[in-house]
Amino acid sequence: MSLLRKLGSTCVLLAVVLLLVPAKAGVALQAVDQTAAPSGISLPTDVRVQSPGWWPTKGDASRDSYIGAAACAKCHASKVASQKTNAMAQAATRTADSEILRQHDRFTFRLGPYNEEIVTKGEKSVLTVSDEASSLSADLLWAFGVGHVGQTYIYHRNGSYYESQLSFYASTQSLNITPEHSLAVPGNIEDAAGRRLTPAETRRCFSCHTTASVAKDQFDANAAVLGVTCEACHGPGANHAAAMNSGMQEQGELMISNLSRLDPVDSVDFCGACHRTWEDVVANGFTGVGVYNVRFAPYRLENSKCWRKPDARLTCVACHDPHQPLEHEAAAYDSRCLQCHVTQAKAKKDADHPGPACRVSTKNCTSCHMPKIVTPVQHSTFTDHWIRIVVPGKPYPN
Ligand code: HEC
Ligand code: HEC
Ligand code: HEC
Ligand code: HEC
Ligand code: HEC
Ligand code: HEC
Ligand code: HEC
């Protein structure tokens, strides 16, 4: 059934749903505006979140319209179990739940005249910074990042949230200056401990790393469900679950965002709500900054020649199932490339296979055409999503 027909018939059916399903207080049972209107071009996330319809990081839904992944598990048990193993589900934790802090119960670092340490005892991790004259301590509350690249800590002091001056880096298994923080020796002990986040920054940080930290436009760090879980992407699920509980499958399906219906550009922009859209990167002037923009997969991908014509075979979800752990085997991605590329030099390209053949190899395509790039600031490597012929000695394309 087409989406339009489905939506048309819902108006009638909705009346029935409203009569039969006891609505939770404050939750009007209605079909969701699936997602912001289709655009066909990459848009800034600011525009997406101001448009009608659901979009990640938007934060306009009410708190009681969210029910949490445990409630989804009643009916989608395997998706909930596997999604927990994706790094996104662990993009933020309470420090008490940080494996890294548990495994390294005493970190130390010398920053100019300051001695810094993070000591973990039981559930508590305390940051202490001292110089000859004084000392400052703060309880670390949240650990951001599962730590494949690194982990940064958030604490609260004098009414504000702070981002720790030092972060854990996986490559060295030790602390160093947090990305984007000044490398200069801090002028005072407060700055040596961390950087004060403005309320807007704090909100953005939680919006990308947690679920439902913002409801009805109000930010509440303590109400956030830590990590990027089901409703961070699909939107609040109370109405959907209520309808499904009452056996109203067709109506229920319209009460949750079905993201497989997004057109290719919208689909990439959707992931770009947190990974930054092509347009976010351009608008923020990150195009000429060299390897630092490699982490913005949507920008890199959409610059590829393969993307000259946006195509569902090359969206983020064509290669990554957000409900499964990240696949590390290059061979596992070959079938994605070969949906478009012919393998025999003599084979004819056609609408189904618009891409030419490789003269070098028929397998492990990403190992040569999506190189790993080292970024000095993160002390780590990212996969370059700008699919291309890598010529040794040729500079990194911006
Ligand atoms: C009471 C059972 C139930 C609960 C609870 C439930 N769902 Fe569903 N959901 C279903 C059924 C049944 C379908 C339709 C069949 C299918 O796709 O699995 C469905 C379909 C979906 C779809 C696809 C929609 C479509 O248009 O086909 C998404 C996305 C979804 N659910 C997400 C969620 C999320 C997220 C949660 C938790 C917030 C959740 N569901 C909670 C039963 C449930
Ligand atoms: C609400 C914000 C948000 C949205 C929306 C989002 N991501 Fe993410 N994603 C993150 C964060 C944060 C991380 C980093 C997690 C970490 O390493 O701690 C991440 C990490 C990842 C990773 C790396 C996983 C790993 O194991 O290293 C992949 C792949 C990924 N995202 C794909 C996607 C895809 C595909 C989409 C769109 C369907 C998407 N993301 C949408 C926030 C988001
Ligand atoms: C616009 C969305 C967005 C905002 C805002 C944001 N992040 Fe992230 N963050 C991501 C995504 C997506 C990733 C994974 C890809 C990457 O590294 O860029 C990530 C990765 C990370 C990582 C590395 C994760 C790993 O597995 O090693 C850390 C640490 C981190 N973020 C901390 C923070 C902190 C702290 C803030 C706020 C001060 C913040 N982020 C703000 C989206 C965001
Ligand atoms: C990072 C974003 C993201 C997160 C987190 C996420 N999903 Fe999805 N989900 C998607 C996207 C995108 C699609 C469409 C995939 C496609 O088109 O291949 C989808 C599809 C689905 C579908 C319908 C298609 C199918 O495979 O049956 C269901 C049901 C679903 N998700 C449930 C869940 C549940 C339950 C959770 C939490 C455990 C969850 N999702 C977490 C992005 C997400
Ligand atoms: C053609 C396949 C393909 C597409 C499309 C794709 N990726 Fe990837 N992605 C990969 C491969 C391959 C890796 C590296 C896996 C590994 O070696 O661990 C990767 C890794 C990642 C990582 C982990 C960090 C890193 O840089 O290694 C993130 C985050 C990510 N992708 C996000 C995205 C997002 C967001 C999109 C959509 C803009 C996307 N990817 C589209 C193939 C793809
Ligand atoms: C949606 C279809 C599609 C997918 C999926 C796809 N490609 Fe392509 N790719 C193309 C087309 C079409 C071209 C030719 C574009 C042109 O020259 O205008 C191309 C060009 C290329 C080129 C030449 C680029 C250059 O700079 O000259 C390479 C290399 C390449 N693709 C590799 C890959 C690899 C590796 C994958 C999988 C990771 C992949 N492609 C996935 C359609 C696709
Ligand atoms: C061992 C590294 C390596 C692997 C693996 C590899 N390629 Fe290539 N590929 C190259 C190099 C180098 C070139 C450019 C040399 C040339 O074409 O003469 C190239 C060229 C291409 C081109 C451009 C062809 C043209 O006529 O413009 C495409 C498309 C391509 N590869 C796709 C793929 C696909 C798809 C796979 C996986 C099936 C793959 N490659 C695997 C190294 C590799």
pLDDT digits (tens, 9 = 90+) for 162-198: 999 999 999 999 999 998 898 899 999 999 999 999 9
Which residue carries 């934790």 as its tokens?
Answer: 93
Shortest-distance Cα residue to atom 9 of ligand 4: 259
CA distance 256 to 241: 9
First-to-last C-alpha distance (Å) of the chain: 43
Nearest in space to 95 (alpha carbons), one of 151, 136, 137: 151
Cβ < 6 A, ligand 5 pocket? 268, 271, 275, 297-298, 301, 314, 316, 318-320, 326, 328, 333, 336, 366, 370, 382-383, 385
Contact 109/175 with Cβ under 8 angstroms?
Answer: yes
User: Does ligand 4 lie within 6 Å of residue 282's CB atom?
Assistant: no
More confident residue, 5 or 201: 201
- Ligand 7 atom closest to the CA of 338, numbered from 1: 35
Which residue type, as a one-letter code, is found at position 234? H
Cα of 55 from ligand 3 centre, angstroms: 18
Cα of 367 from ligand 7 centre, angstroms: 10
Tokens of 44: 């800034």
Q: What percent of the chain has pLDDT over 70?
A: 91
CA distance 218 to 224: 11
> In this predicted structure, what is the pLDDT of residue 351?
81
> In this predicted structure, what is the pLDDT of residue 36?
66
- Ligand 3 atom closest to the CA of 296, numbered from 1: 18
pLDDT in tens, 120-179: 999 999 999 999 999 999 999 999 999 999 999 999 999 999 999 999 999 999 999 998
Q: Kindly tell me if the per-residue pLDDT of 23 is higher than 60.
A: no
pLDDT in tens, 266-283: 999 999 999 999 999 999
User: Does ligand 2 lie within 6 Å of residue 225's CB atom?
Assistant: no
Q: Find the angle CA(194)-CA(90)-CA(273) to the nearest 5 degrees.
A: 80
Q: Find the angle CA(302)-CA(306)-CA(311) to the nearest 5 degrees.
A: 75
User: Given pLDDT bands bounded at 50, 70 and 90, which one contains residue 230?
Assistant: very high
> Can you tell me the mean pLDDT for 251-273?
96
CA distance 28 to 65: 9
> In this predicted structure, what is the pLDDT of residue 16?
32
Shortest-distance Cα residue to atom 16 of ligand 5: 328
Shortest-distance Cα residue to atom 39 of ligand 1: 72
Contact 277/298 with Cβ under 8 angstroms?
Answer: yes
Span of 35-49, 102-116, 213-227 with lowest mean pLDDT: 35-49
Nearest in space to 361 (alpha carbons), one of 396, 389, 383, 382: 389
Contact 1/13 with Cβ under 8 angstroms?
Answer: no
Which residues, including other chains, have CB under 8 Å from residue 374's CB and lie 6 or more apart? 291, 380, 381
> In this predicted structure, what is the pLDDT of residue 38?
66
Q: Kindly tell me if the per-residue pLDDT of 27 is higher than 50.
A: no
Rg (CA), the chain: 23
User: Given pLDDT bands bounded at 50, 70 and 90, which one contains residue 347?
Assistant: confident
Tokens of 302: 């959409």
User: Given pLDDT bands bounded at 50, 70 and 90, which one contains residue 32?
Assistant: confident
